[in-house]
Amino acid sequence: MSKKIVYVGLDVDDTQFHGAALNKATGELFHFKCLTTLKGLSGQLTKVGKQVPRLVLQVVYEASYIGFTLQRDLTELGIHCEVVAPSSIPRQGGKAVKTDRIDAAQLAQFYASDLLTIVQAPELEVEQDRDLLRSRQRLMHQREQVRRHLQAILRRNGLHYKAETQHKSHWTKVHYSWLERTIAAQPGSLKVNLELQYRQLQDINRSLAEYNQQIEALAQTERYQKPVQALTCYKGIKTIFALTMITEIGDIQRFPHPRQLVSWIGMDIREYSSGGKHNRFGITKHGNRYLRTAFIEANQRGYRTTRLSKDVRLRQAHSAPEYVEVATRCLRRLSKKGNRLLLAGKHPNKVKVACAREMVGFVWESLRLAAV
């Protein structure tokens, strides 16, 4: 990087920006803080610019709740700004003191030393679509928590669905009918508690149904129709997983090779070599957790057989032949690899992750085909 640059690290919180501007040529470090407004920040950056005339400011901040809004605003003002992945920031163990001022200074130093992984800012519309899918995922987690809490209350009071009905599957129509009857028959505070939990669960179910409806409609728009069609040819990938992958990855052309996408997701292998010994310790998990979850969930058990369900065959029948060909190659490869690892005694969770890593390369190929 050029020495004619002043590297500015920003630590962002709810009320203030803490900034540190590093002149790499001289080692000078300028600190500032201001309210979390564009006017306040641009004013402080102007002051820094006056202290180091003829030098260019480059700003970086850690991806947080503000997303890429600040990056877009500063770019419009003509200020170079980038967003860094939190997982890529070097962590220094044994620090006795941690403050926003220190964090901003370290961010500027790492930025000047080219030690950070920059996150590409997506188009505003894609970011909003991605937020829609992330919100649905958070709601799914909330539903799981409410379900577990509701079941725990029932069990503590000796109310067991399987024992009373001989049915094994939970959260079916039969199970919901049993819940309603059981809750109505309880006395006092127990009934009130169960009713409130059940009502909360029903509210979440209704919200999820609305999210699903909106996401299905989004998948049919011109922007997403081709890539969604390419990915839903895969066994284990339906509309929601397909859109999650598409919106989280963004422009697939920025990954010239699938290995780069694997690394960006955080599914590359941790390795340690010393004294002639070479050890591997699973995936790094230093990357996009939403994508990582989607790929692993898509490989729950599908790799065990190459047979396709009626739904998958129907989706493939309405897709371009080149999309189907890649998905078919993927399934054969995953089935061969997955079953080989299972026969070797590998834990099913490790097999899922291994198959998910393998699937990334095929998805990369499919998205590049759809982008043509």
Pair of tokens at residue 246: 């598409």
What pLDDT does residue 93 have? Answer: 60
Contact 224, 246 (CB under 8 A): yes
pLDDT in tens, 261-308: 999 998 988 766 556 666 667 788 888 899 999 999 999 877 888 899
Instruction: Render 304-372 in DSSP notation, one character per residue.
Output: G-----HHHHHHHHTS-HHHHHHHHHHHHHHHHHHHHHHHTT--HHHHHHHHHHHHHHHHHHHHHHHT-
Pair of tokens at residue 355: 């198959």
Is the pLDDT confidence value at 183 over 50?
A: yes
At a CB cut-off of 8 Å and minimum separation 6, what does 235 contact?
302, 308, 309, 312, 327, 331
pTM confidence score: 0.86
Question: Sorting pLDDT into bands at 50, 70 and 90, what band is 163?
Answer: confident
What pLDDT does residue 278 have? Answer: 60
What pLDDT does residue 1 have? Answer: 43
> Strand 56-62 relative to strand 80-84: parallel, antiparallel, unpaired?
parallel
pLDDT in tens, 40-51: 999 999 999 888
Gap between the Cα atoms of 159 and 190, Å rounded: 12
